[in-house]
């Protein structure tokens, strides 16, 4: 496996060679490689957890914070879940060769539009070692070679996981270079990776705004940004309050340090007197700090022992990734939509309502990759959407939007077949 013992350019060159083999590799061979990876994860659990504990110890020493430590941590259950996701990906239909459209022209030419791999996909990610395997499995199943670049905080974990994936896939018949990891360099290495136009077909960064800005400054390779999530839950005037409470608590507290967790709660003003003290009390009991706007502050503070602070203007634009939520009152679904338009990141937005017209207005009016009616934002995930796993969630509008799975890692080509046809 390539692990920065060669240059970034050489690693990418070898990956490009591998991608040409992978593009025409049979589904059965790819699936066997994924099963080999899943089995190796289980068999080499001790090696993986030992490497992860080294990263965890360094992270605690560096005081990287609870949210990042949670993302970084692996245990037996999480590794088993990663292996299970690999098997789910193996069981999915192979997108390569899928006929998107096809027809016969009046002149007798047969034209088919078919799905094909992108080639070499580079994934740049921060503090999430599970991405190493999720991304590798998705790329291999879709016929792509992958070049991984994780963060320094997960160096040992990523190295162990990438070694498992690379060795298992080669043992199952995939070419050397199908899975590669570059590690140990700084921003210069990132810039080199982002400019390998002859070898890398797509870069997917999965991290914070600083990573996004660093790539935007240098990338000449196409980029799909798996962006941050400033997600909202809007409780409409006709909402069932029991349902609303359950959804808000799930969206905020089920796992606060992830991009599909809710960061802002909007409540219709007609419900405020009844719902705000109730939901603030429930959030406080769950350890969540509420940053309330002027209109809701006195109601929020009225909940006994509530963890309430006044909201600043910056709170509406903040992805906390922590047990903190901003709270504001609005007069209508249109005002909620406008608030989301001003402050949302285009990731995941939810409305809780009993009114079909309000639900429809929210679905059509909110510009986001995923829009929910009476459901938590926490479902924005490739695994939850039946994709097995995901490389990230795109908030862009071209090619891929939302969870990036197998089909999003493909492009297409036109296959045209004739019988001696020439153009007159």
Domains of the chain, start order: 8-226+391-417 (3.40.605.10), 231-379 (3.40.309.10)
66 confidence band (pLDDT: 50, 70, 90): confident
Residues 403-420 have a mean pLDDT of 96
**Confidence (pLDDT) at 254:** 96
pLDDT at residue 320 greater than cutoff 80: yes
**Confidence (pLDDT) at 4:** 45
Residue linked to tokens 């994780």: 150
Q: Are 321 and 256 in contact (CB under 8 A)?
A: yes
Which region among 14-18, 159-163, 175-179, 222-226 has the lowest average model confidence (pLDDT)? 222-226
Q: Are 88 and 134 in contact (CB under 8 A)?
A: no
Q: Are 202 and 40 in contact (CB under 8 A)?
A: no
Compute the distance between CA of residue 280 and CA of residue 340 in angstroms, rounded to an integer. Answer: 21
Which region among 37-46, 145-154, 235-244 has the lowest average model confidence (pLDDT)? 145-154
Instruction: Count the alpha carbons within 13 Å of 296 in the hemisphere toward its beta carbon.
Output: 32
Q: Are 154 and 69 in contact (CB under 8 A)?
A: no
pLDDT digits (tens, 9 = 90+) for 93-127: 999 999 999 999 999 999 999 999 999 999 998 87
User: What share of the chain in percent tops pLDDT 90?
Assistant: 83
Residues 6+ apart with CB under 8 A from 115: 95, 96, 97, 98, 100, 407, 410, 411, 412
pLDDT digits (tens, 9 = 90+) for 349-396: 999 999 999 999 999 999 999 999 999 999 999 889 988 888 888 988
pLDDT at residue 5 greater than cutoff 60: no
**Confidence (pLDDT) at 251:** 98
**Confidence (pLDDT) at 3:** 47
**Confidence (pLDDT) at 126:** 82
Compute the distance between CA of residue 366 and CA of residue 357 in angstroms, rounded to an integer. Answer: 14
Residues 402-407 have a mean pLDDT of 94
Q: Are 121 and 222 in contact (CB under 8 A)?
A: no
405 confidence band (pLDDT: 50, 70, 90): very high
Q: What residues form DSSP beta bridges with 113?
A: 101, 414
pLDDT at residue 2 greater than cutoff 60: no
């Amino acid at each position: 496996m390539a692990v920065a013992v060669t240059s970034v350019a050489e690693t990418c060159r070898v990956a490009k060679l591998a991608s040409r083999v992978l593009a025409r590799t049979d589904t059965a061979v790819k699936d066997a490689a994924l099963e080999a990876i899943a089995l190796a994860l289980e068999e080499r659990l001790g090696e993986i957890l030992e490497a992860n504990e080294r990263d965890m110890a360094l992270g605690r020493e560096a005081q990287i914070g609870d949210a990042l430590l949670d993302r970084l941590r692996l245990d037996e259950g999480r590794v088993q879940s990663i292996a299970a996701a690999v098997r789910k990906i193996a069981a999915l239909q192979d997108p390569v060769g899928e006929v998107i459209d096809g027809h016969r022209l009046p002149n007798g030419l047969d034209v088919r539009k078919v799905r094909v791999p992108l080639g070499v996909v580079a994934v740049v990610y921060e503090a999430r070692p599970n991405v190493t395997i999720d991304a590798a499995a998705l790329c291999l199943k879709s016929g792509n070679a992958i070049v991984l670049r994780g963060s320094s905080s997960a160096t040992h974990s990523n190295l162990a996981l990438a070694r498992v994936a690379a060795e298992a896939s080669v043992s199952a018949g995939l070419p050397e270079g199908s899975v590669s990891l570059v590690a140990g360099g700084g921003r210069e290495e990132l810039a080199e990776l982002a400019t390998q136009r002859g070898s890398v077909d797509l870069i997917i960064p999965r991290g914070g705004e600083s990573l996004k800005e660093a790539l935007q400054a240098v990338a000449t390779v196409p980029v799909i940004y798996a962006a941050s999530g400033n997600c909202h839950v809007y409780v409409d005037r006709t909402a069932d309050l029991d349902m609303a409470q359950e959804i808000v608590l799930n969206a905020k507290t089920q796992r606060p340090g992830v991009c599909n967790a809710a960061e802002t709660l909007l409540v219709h003003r007609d419900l405020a007197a009844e719902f705000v003290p109730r939901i603030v009390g429930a959030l406080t009991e769950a350890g969540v700090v509420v940053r309330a706007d002027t209109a809701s502050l006195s109601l929020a503070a009225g909940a006994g022992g509530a963890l309430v602070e006044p909201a600043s203007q910056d709170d509406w634009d903040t992805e906390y990734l922590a047990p903190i939520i901003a709270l504001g009152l609005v007069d209508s679904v249109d005002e909620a939509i406008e608030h989301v338009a001003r402050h949302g990141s285009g990731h995941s937005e939810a409305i809780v309502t009993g009114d079909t017209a309000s639900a429809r207005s929210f679905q059509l009016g909110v510009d986001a990759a995923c829009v929910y009616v009476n459901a938590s934002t926490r479902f924005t995930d490739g695994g939850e959407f039946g994709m097995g796993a995901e490389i990230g969630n795109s908030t862009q509008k071209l090619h891929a939007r939302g969870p990036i799975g197998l089909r999003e890692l493909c492009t297409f080509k036109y296959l045209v077949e004739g019988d001696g046809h020439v153009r007159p």
